[in-house]
Amino acid sequence: MRLLAIFLVSIFLFPPVSSATTLEDLIETAKKENPELKAIESKVKAMEQRAIVEGSLDDPMFKVEFMDLPRDNPIPYPSNAMQTRYSLTQTIPFPGRLGLKKAFTSSAAGQMAAELKAKELEILSSIKTAYFDYLYDVKAIKTTTEIKGIIDALKKVAEIKYSTGLTPQQDVIKAEVELSMIDTELAELEARKDIAKINLNGLIGRKPDTPIGGEIEGYKHERPRLNVEELSKTAFEKSPMLLAINSNIKEAEIGKELSKRKYSIDFMFEMAAVQREDRFPDTWNLMFGITLPIWSGKYRGMQAEAGYSLESAKASLENTRINILKELNDEVRMLKATERILELYEKSLAPMAEIGFKSSLVSYETGRVDFMTVIEGERTLKKTKIDYLRATADYWQRLSEIEKIVGEELM
C-alpha cells in the first residue's frame, strides 16, 4: 500500500516529456503573420517612399500652341496654323525648400516607425499574456488530472478496505463525490483553455481553431533581477512612445522652418520655339518668372501654427516621461510582490502541502486518520499547485507589461 502511495505522488515529480511549442515559436509566427503589424509596416514603407517624392522637383510641362487656325478648318496641326509654339516649362522652389519638405516627411516616417515598434510591443505583450494564460490552463489541467488519478486510485483502495470491513462505505462515496467535483473543475479549465487558444491564435494571425501544435512548453527562463534606474534609462532611450514624440518634435521643428521658407519666392523657367507655317526660325524664346508672396497673413498663420505644434510636442514629451516613470515604478513593485509570493510557494507552501498529503496517505494506510483527512490534504495540495501556476503566469505577464513600457525584451 505504501508503494502505491509513493508511486501516486511521484508523478508530480517526473512528468512525461513530449514535443513542445515555445513562446519564441509563437512570437516569430506573429511577426510574420499578424495582419495589423503587416498593415503598419506597409504604411511605414509608403511614408518612406513619400519622402523621396517630396524631395523631388515637379515634372516639367511640355506645351504646344496652335495660333491663328482658320475658322473653316480649325484642325490643330502645324501646317494648318499660322504659328505653332512649342514650350518646355519647369518650376523650381527656392533653394533649401525641397530638402526641408523631404526631411519633414522623413520625420513623419520616423514617427510612424516608432508607432510600428509600439504596436509590435503591444501585440507581443498581448501574445505573451495569452500564452501564459494558455500555459496556465494546460498545466492546471495536467495537475488536476494527476490529482484525479490519485483520488481514483484511493477510491479503489477504499473499495478494497470496505470489502474487508476496514472502512465504512462512506469513504467510497466521498471519493466518488471528490472525483465528480474534480471533473467539474476540469470542464471549466478545458473551456478556458479553448478560449485562451482562440485568443492566442487571433493575436498570432491564425484561424481560431488552428491547433497550437504539440504540448505547449512550460516557461523555463530564470526570473530577471530588475533595477528601476536602469530600466528608466533604457525606457528614455528605447520607449517607442518617446521615440514617436521625438520624431514629432523634429517634424515640428522642420515644419516651423519650412513655414518661414513659405515667404521665399519660387522660380519658373520656360524655353520656347515658334514654327511659322513649315519653317523654324533660328531663334528661341526664354521666359523667367517668380512667385510673389504678398499675402503675408496666411504665412504668419502658418508660422504660428508650426510654433504651437512644436510647443505641444515638447510638453507631450515631458508628460510622457513622467507617466513612464510612474507606470514603470508601479509595475516593478507589483512584479517584485508577485516574485515574493512565488518564493513563498516554492520554499514553504508547496513543500508543506506535498509533505502533508504524503503524510495523510501513509496515515490512512495504517488507519490513524479517516478518509476525509486525505481528501483535505488532496484539496490543499491541489489548491497550492494551482495557485502557484497562476502566480507564475501573473509574474511573466507583468514582466511583459514592463517590456512594453521599456521598449526592450526582458525575457
Could you read off the pLDDT of 331-347 as tens digits, one per residue? 999 999 999 999 999 99
pLDDT at residue 90 in the model: 93
pLDDT at residue 17 in the model: 39
- Domain 2-406, what architecture? Up-down Bundle (1.20)
Cell 521666359, located at residue: 287
pLDDT at residue 218 in the model: 58
Alpha-carbon separation of residue 120 from 46, 76, 406 (angstroms) = 18, 59, 13
Q: What is the pLDDT of residues 289-310, one digit of tens each?
A: 998 887 777 778 878 888 888 8
CA pair distance 114, 389, nearest whole angstrom:
35
**Contact by Cβ (8 Å): 145, 186:** yes
pLDDT at residue 20 in the model: 52
**Contact by Cβ (8 Å): 5, 161:** no
CA pair distance 253, 104, nearest whole angstrom:
9
pTM of the model: 0.73
pLDDT at residue 385 in the model: 95
pLDDT at residue 342 in the model: 95
pLDDT at residue 7 in the model: 43
The gap between the terminal CA atoms of the chain, to the nearest Å, is: 45
pLDDT at residue 264 in the model: 80
The per-residue b/e assignment along 228-243, b for 16 or more CB within 10 angstroms, e otherwise, is eeebbebbeeebbbbb
pLDDT at residue 214 in the model: 54
The per-residue b/e assignment along 291-311, b for 16 or more CB within 10 angstroms, e otherwise, is eeeeeeeebeebbeebeebbe
Ranges under pLDDT 50 in the chain:
1-19
**Contact by Cβ (8 Å): 378, 150:** yes
**Contact by Cβ (8 Å): 85, 64:** yes
CA pair distance 117, 168, nearest whole angstrom:
66
